[in-house]
Chain A
C-alpha cells in the first residue's frame, strides 16, 4: 500500500506546538511523519489535543511553532480551501439546505468542473458508499449511518489524497459503528488514500489502523502498529490506556541478561522484561501484564520462573471467556482472562492458586 516512489513522508509534523491562550501548550512537541496510503489513528483521552492537531493539518488553526508539511511542501501559510484535504466532521456537517447530490457536487462546483463530469463523479461516489438511490434526499431525511456515509463520500468525491476524520462514528450505535469501521477501512484501502483518523475508541483504533498514535498531555506517547502497541506498550500510560492491563508496583533489584528482577511491595520477587529507559536497579517501576497472558495451571508454567500466590475474589462468566478477579500482592484488581475451553477450570471464589507468566510478557515500565 505504501507508495515508495513518493517516499514515506507524505504528511509531516515537525516540532509542532500549539497554544490557544498563550499560557498553556495544548500540543507540546509533535513529531510525526506518515507515508502515502497509511491509515493512521490518533487515539487519546479527551482534551489531549487530537482535534487540535487535525485542525492544524486542515488549516483551521495555525501552529504556534513548528512546521507542517504535505508532500514535502510546508502548508503553514496555505489557506484551508487550497490544501485539498478532505474532511469528515464529527457532526457530519452536511449542508442542510442542499440535497445529498448537491452536497457532493459542491466541492466539484467550486473547482469549476463541467456539469456532466460532476454528475458522473457524484454518482460514482454515491455508489461507492452504497447510497446511489438517495441523491435526491435532504440530509435531515437520512439516518445517522446514512449521513455518515454521505459525509464520507463528500470528503472523497474530489479525490483528495489525504482525508481527515474527527470521531466520525462517535454518534452511532455499537453495531452500526462496527459496520462503518469496516466500510471506511475498505474504501480507504480501495482508493489508496491517506487517512488521519481521530477516535476515543481503542477497539476502533486497533481494528482499523496501520499505525496508532496514542496522545496524552499534548504529546504522542507511542506511535506503533496495533499489535505492537498492545503487546509492547512503551510506557505505563499506553499500557493502561490500550486494552485491559494488570499493574504491580515494585522496585527493580537487578538487571541480568535482558531480564529484570523486581521486588514487589509485599516482598515477593518476579521476573520481567525491562522496557522503559528509567528501569535501572534501585528505581521504582510499574510492571504490566496482560490478563490473558497470566497462567495458573502449574503444568503449563515454565520451570524456574517466579510465581505468586493469589486468592480468587470473583469469577465472571462472559461466554467466550472467563474473567477472574484475584488478590495478588495486595492488589485486589488483578484480572486474568481464560478461554472457555472444555478442559478449563472454573475458579470459585476463595480458592488459593499460584500464578505465573513468561518473563517477556511482563513489562517493567515507568513508575
Chain B
C-alpha cells in the first residue's frame, strides 16, 4: 500500500485495512479495562447480568417447554429400559432365584417355589399377575396364560394341610389377632423372616382394602411360610411361646411339595426356559426392549438374533429410512423448480401461486390422503384413464395403492410444501446480479446456474430436506391409510404397540432408536453440510 499516499503531504492516508492490521497485530498480554481488571472478566460479569435477566424473561416459556417437551421424551427414554414390574410383583422369587444356575439344566429349589407361591398369591389378590403375564409374554410366549392359570390355581393349593396341622397344635393359630400380636414383636419377626415379610405384605394389602388384619382369616400361604421358617430352625430368640412348641413339632408334619403343586397347575413351571426368562428380566432395568427393537433377544449366552420368522423391526427401520430418503429426494426434485419459479415471478403472481402451494395445509390430512386412494386404486381415476387410453389392459390394472409406491406418492405430495417454503425463502434472497456477474465473467447459462446459483440454494435445500426427512421418518397417518402391508413405517408399529398390544416399553425403545437415528443423521448432516448452512426463512 505504499503508493497510497496523499500527493501534497506525502503521508499515508488511513485505509480500512489498517483497522484489520491493527487487530491482527494486537497479540500482547491480556487487555485491561479502565479499572485495571482484565477486560475479559469485566465483560463476562456484565454479560452474566444480561444473561440472567434474559433467562428470567424466558423462564415461563422454558418451563413450559421442559414440561411439555423434554419431560415426555425423558419418560420415553426411561420406559424403554424400565422393568420394575417383575421385581415388584415377584419380590421374593427374584431374591430366591438369584443364586439359581440357569445353565445347570436343573429346576430351581423348593425355596424358590415357596417364594413364588407367596408372590403369586399376593399378586392375584392385588390382580397384578395378569399384567406381569403380558409383560413376560413379550419375551416368552405362553407366560401370559401361565400366570393367569397360576393366579387361579394358587387358591386351590393343598397347602391347607399346614393350616390344619398348626391349628391342631394350638387352635389360637387360627386367630388373626394372635398373629398381629406376634408380628408386633421384633424378636418374633427376626425368628420368622419369610413369614414376617409375607405378613407385612398381607397386612398392607388388607389395610389398602380397608379391612382389619386382626379380623380376616389367616391364609394358607402364611402357614406355609411359617412352616418353612420353622423348618429352617433359627427360632431361638422368639418370644411367642407357640413358636417354640411349633418348632419342636414341625419335624413330624405332613408336607406338600410346592413344585408339584405348581406343576399340577401348569407343566410349564418345570420348564427351565420359563425360569430363565424370569431370571433374565428380574433386574429393575433391562436391555430387553432395545434388543427386541432390533430383532434380538437375551439368549443363553448373551444377546442373540431372533428366529427368522420373528424378525421385523430392522426391516421396518431400513424401509422407513429408505422410503423417507426417496420421499425427500422426490420432494427436492419436484420442489426445486416450483420454488425457482415462485422466486423469479413478479411478487403479485408469486403470492397467488404461493396460495396454491399452501392450499394443502388448509385441507385435512385425511381428506388429502383419501383423495390419493381415490386416484390410485385399481378402479381409480388414473387406472381408468390408462385403460381408456389403452396403455393398460383392463385385466392388468396397476396396483398403485396399499404399497410402497402409494405411500411415497401420497407423502411426497403432503410434505412438498415443507420443501418448497424454505427453498423459496432462500432463493428470494439471491439477487439476480449474481447470475449476471457469472455470465459477464464468461459462464454459460448452465455453468452460471450450477456453479453460482445452485450452491447458494443449498441452505434452503438442506433445511427443506431436514424438515421433510424428519417429518416423514415419524409419519403415521398416511402410511397407515395407503401403506398396506409393504408401505408401513416404523411409526405404525410404534402406534400398534402403544394402543393395541400395550407394550409401551417396546414402543418406547423403538421411539428412542428413531430419535437416536434422527440425531445421528442430524450430526452427520452438520459434519457434511454444516448446520449453520441451514436457512428456514
Contacts and interface: CB of A to CB of B under 8 A. Distances in A.
B56 to A, nearest CB: 34
Interface in B1-60: 1, 4, 13, 15-17, 20
Nearest to B454: A97
Contact of B436 (A93, A154, A176): A93
B442 A107 contact: yes
A110 B441 contact: yes
Contact of B16 (A106, A111, A145, A155): A145
A146 interface: yes
B440 A106 contact: no
Interface in A129-157: 130, 143-146, 154-155
B4 A106 contact: no
Interface stretch (B173-181, B235-243, B443-451): B443-451
Given A91-B431, A95-B434, A106-B451, A81 B439 contact: yes
B1 A130 contact: yes
B440 A96 contact: no
The A interface, classified by DSSP as helix, strand, loop or mixed, is mixed
Interface string B432-464: 011011111111110110011001101000000
A80 B16 contact: no
Contact of B433 (A89, A97, A106): A89
B50 to A, nearest CB: 27
Given A80-B436, A95-B452, A145-B16, A107 B441 contact: yes
Contacts of A84: 442
Most buried by B among A96, A97, A143: A97
Contacts of A179: 4, 13, 15
Contacts of A154: 441
A143 B16 CA distance: 7
Interface in B454-482: 455-456, 458
Interface in A274-329: none
B440 A85 contact: yes
A158 interface: yes
Nearest to A85: B440
Interface string A89-129: 10101011100000000110011000000000000000000
B17 A86 contact: no
A110 B442 contact: yes
Contacts of A20: none
Nearest to A186: B3
A97 B447 CA distance: 15
Contact of A143 (B20, B434, B443, B455): B20
A158 B440 CA distance: 11
B282 to A, nearest CB: 59
A180 B12 CA distance: 14
B448 to A, nearest CB: 8
Contact of B440 (A81, A130, A146, A183): A81
A182 B448 CA distance: 32
A86 B439 CA distance: 10
A87 interface: yes
A84 B443 CA distance: 10
A121 to B, nearest CB: 13
Given A87-B440, A176-B16, A93 B433 contact: yes
A106 B15 CA distance: 28
Contacts of A89: 433, 436-437
Contacts of A143: 16-17, 20
- Most interface-central of B17, B431, B456, B458 (chain A CB within 10 A): B17
A111 B442 contact: yes
B532 to A, nearest CB: 12
A205 interface: no
B440 A97 contact: no
Contacts of B436: 58, 60, 80, 87, 89, 93
Interface of B: 1, 4, 13, 15-17, 20, 431, 433-434, 436-445, 447-448, 451-452, 455-456, 458
10 contacts: A58-B436, A60-B436, A86-B441, A95-B438, A96-B456, A107-B443, A143-B20, A146-B16, A146-B17, A158-B442
4 smallest CB-CB distances across A and B, nearest first, come from A107-B441, A93-B437, A87-B440, A93-B433
